[in-house]
Structure 1
Amino acid sequence: MGNDDIDYNIVFPEVLISERHWRGLKQPVVILLGWAGCRDKHLVKYSSIYTKQGCITLRYTAPLKTVFISESFGYKELRHTALKLLETLYDYDVENNPIFFHVFSNGGFMLYRYMVEYLQREQQFSTLCVLGTVVDSAPGSGNVTGALRALRTTLGSHINVFLRYLLMALFAMTVFLLRIVLYPVTKFFHKDHYDAMMDRPAPWPQLYLYSRADRVIRHTDVERMVGVLRGKQLSIQSFDFATSAHVSLFRDFPEDYCSRCLDFLNSCMTKSEQTKLKTRHVI
């Protein structure tokens, strides 16, 4: 399905499954934001973790040109996409359901950054209730080598070799120039996703899943973000899978991965319901 110019997929679980897991509560809407080059068939494997638990799932992956070109040049095309995805919640009348994010790599994190900004700054989204976020293999900062590895993997072998290396060279020069050399100036016009989320992070609980064996996103970048957010007194959890390649945590450790995600979701739901009860008692 789609909303205007974005191509997403939304799945509603069977009523009996939702009732069994959530027992009269509104089931969570899990928004999954794929990594650059992610195909929907890959994202389905992750969304099924939540669908089996009676959650509504909304899947979306930003186009390659948006992640690798638009953002690199400071054109905030993803901001428009973020707005459309949040408006989709109203299109399907689930704006009163609790919202939960599952974000993959920098491709998903860039889009997530803009959704967080809308949720924090725009009055029209002030009534949305966000439970928490799982971040898989992100975020990374200023890693040109890792970005090139991601782009090379994404382009694959179906593209002409000369064209592939030409695109990679142009991308590397652009990132190095705009995001490293000139960044002290360009950040005033377009702050990158890492710094933006560090300066004004999402206030809800977050779980960072990563691996020190990741050759695209440095584990030190993830750990630095986790440390800064904990210093801001936010509820932050993290786990290092140690041996997995980039966005391969679920593939390598399916049971542990699912357990961590669902335990975190259930914990966020419990905290949300407890907060609502306290609010009612105060009133």
Structure 2
Amino acid sequence: MAGAADLDNLEYYIKFPSPNFNYSQPNGTGESDYVFVVNEEKIPVILLFGWAGCQDKYLAKYSQIYEDRGLITLRYTAPVKCLFWKRLQMITIGERLVKLLVDLNFENHPIIVHCFSNGGAFLYQNFTLALEKSPKPIQVVSNYISPKKTFQSNPLENLKDDKNNCPQHFIYSKKDILIPYTDIEYFANYRKSLGIDVTTLCYETSPHVKHYTENKESYVSSVCNFLNKCLNGTN
């Protein structure tokens, strides 16, 4: 089931697996087939936070990775005006996203955040702040970032000391001319120094926003292997 909804102007897209989805068999796409062993009463929920200006049709290509494997996906991209000019509104957006998870009764499901670029990371920053005030605890088991375009406010700097100690995975490239790979490695190493389980996937040649497009099989394998590691023991 898929749909779009408006929660006080918060437009999101959610998709649930079909009732007869077979969790014991690979998806059969030939694209890094992978089976997740999940508790079907607490199916993992993947939150995809898009980059600044992201159109949902592009974010949907990434959510398909998880939907093909029977996971729940929820996509949301913060409005550009909130990312650049009305940043205080991001606090409210983070709170509404947390409220949405509670309203959907997802607080007992493993939550995985896949954020893209600084836009997604800035949203994640406000989401984690809202989690601290949530009336019900929500289990975030992992998050990972696909770097894209940099802008003035640097959420990676703000997230260096993020209180959430879940595993993190970073996907980036040395040929991305819009965000230095050294910035990503500095952040990843800093988080490692705090005792966080951090893994990385660095491509040598894929250009800006082309990591998945040009390295589809290894990208999907990396995501699925990381996700399986994080879900192990949480079902």
TM-score normalised by the shorter chain: which range applies? Answer: 0.7 to 0.9
Q: 1:23 to 1:268 in 2, by over 3 A?
A: closer
Counterpart of 2:20, as a letter, is: L
Which structure has more helix as a fraction of its residues? 1
1:85 partner letter: L
Cα shift readout 1:162-196 (whole Å, capped 9, x = no counterpart)? xxxxxxxxxxxxx5xxx6xxxxxxxxxxxx52232
Question: Would you say 1:6 and 2:17 are equivalent positions?
Answer: no
Alignment partner for residue 122 of structure 1, among 103, 114, 133? 133
Match in the other structure for 1:211? 173
Question: Structure 2: which 5+ residue stretches go unaligned?
Answer: 25-35
Q: What is the DSSP-based 3-state SS (H/G/I as helix, E as strand, rest coil) of the residue aligned with 1:36?
A: coil
Q: Note the 1:232-251 alignment, pairs <5 A.
A: 232-251=194-213
Compute the displacement of 1:69 (Å).
Answer: 2.2
Residue 223 (structure 1) aligns with: 185
- Matched-pair contact (CA < 8 Å) for 2:170–2:199: yes
Aligned CA RMSD, in angstroms, stands at 1.9
Aligned residues, how many?
A: 219
What TM-score, normalized to structure 1?
Answer: 0.72
CA distance in 1, matches of 2:193, 2:169: 15
Q: How far did 1:118 drift?
A: 2.3
Note the 1:158-169 alignment, pairs <5 A. Answer: none
Tell me which residue corresponds to 1:113. Answer: 125
Q: C-alpha displacement at 1:79, in angstroms?
A: 1.3
SS at match of 2:47: strand
Residue 27 of structure 1 corresponds to: 43
| Matched position secondary structure for 2:61 | helix
3-state DSSP class of the match of 1:239? strand
**SS of alignment partner, residue 21 of structure 2:** helix
Structure with larger Rg: 1
Partners of 1:18 and 1:27 within 8 A in 2:
no
**Residues 94 and 129 of structure 2 are in contact (CA less than 8 Å); yes or no, is this contact kept in structure 1?**
no
1:135 aligns with 145
| Letter in structure 2 aligned against 1:115 | F
| 3-state SS in 2 of match to 1:9 | strand
Which residues of 2 match residues 16-165 of structure 1 at below 5 A? 16-17=20-21, 19-20=23-24, 21-22=36-37, 24-25=39-40, 26-70=42-86, 75-119=87-131, 121-125=132-136, 127-137=137-147, 146-147=150-151
| Alpha-carbon distance in 2 for matches of 1:206, 1:18 | 28
Residues 271/230 of structure 1: CA separation in 2 closer, same or farther (3 Å cut): farther
Code of the residue aligned with 1:246 in structure 2: it is H
Structure with bigger strand share is: 2
CA deviations 1:88-144 (Å, max 9, x no partner) are 11222222111001000001000001112222x32524x211110121116x8xxxx
